[in-house]
Structure 1
């Protein structure tokens, strides 16, 4: 679940002034990019950072991606952290040549606006195709009756991984997995459609209110509510 989707979920329950999502990391600065006020709450966009911070998106080969192409977000700034305490290997993994490898996936459009798509560690590879869970979550969150949704990858003998959707139904809704699959067929590319659905009363969350995907995989492996 993206930050924008979390805020949308809160707004549905607690009416009042709109909340906005800025982008930042504890390893770079409190705020790296400011939000665009008229952006879609499910897929917020950001204004590129002002000096001294600069950003870039790179692929697995380290090449800088042009506008429109998805890659890992890198940040360079005078405010970057010095490294993890007594963890030189972890520091070397994220700090390279003056750039912080955030582990966030995103893109910049031709107008210069920045979109954060997902976490690199959460990317699903199914049949050799990359699927970003947040993209699937954004589509499913617009489905009537979906209160919350989180998408993750599960092992699959044929495709390596398969796409699974964990869904919390809104009060009064009783739709099943067949309805979710039909909605997905009309709104998602074939390889991005969930092949299984796990219905839950609530999504598990950690202390930071994030949905831990490993926990969802555990529930998927043991829960009879998957269909």
Structure 2
């Protein structure tokens, strides 16, 4: 997989892309990552890439031409047409299902906006999809792009030790992940659940499934409506819900 990032701050991105799992995947050539400084593609003698907005208003708007020239250069160098994503608070919220879908692409180009945004015309010309990492506004798209890169790269073949590394994580199967424990067995008088020490894999797997259901119901009940649950799952949730004190009982 190849991912290109078009940004005004390539050094900011490179620092993160050379660390941890992404850095190892890059070093081992499991994924190819490039950062492009949009300023390198301006024809302005002062290296300007922004201008005042038509119609007035605060701030500056990134110009269409430097972005388009960067896009054309990426196409030419890679000899492929990338799937272009604009990181924007107006975009579709990033979910695990979308990450899985994006991981199937051979080539992504992530466009990072800045200032008051990007000239709408270049978005209409080259962008395939707008994606948001949340309902809030950042100074630029770089942090959002790095979130997307991290969430997608770890799903690529060979990056993690095995698919189980991400298949058991929160959101992959529509549920939140079960609690995790490690040594020591007792810490601050709190014990690791006995079932995890039993060595009985079927019981451990059942316990983990039940904890996934409990956590999702308590922390993100909205996720259950979109999750495929077995009859056993539903029965367990019904039983668990009856054990949860109602608001009236809590107040008493």
TM-score, structure 1 as length reference? 0.27
Q: Give 1 or 2: higher helix fraction.
A: 2
Q: Give 1 or 2: higher strand fraction.
A: 1
TM-score, structure 2 as length reference? 0.25
Give the structure, 1 or 2, with the largest relative contact order (CA under 8 Å, sep 6 or more). Answer: 2
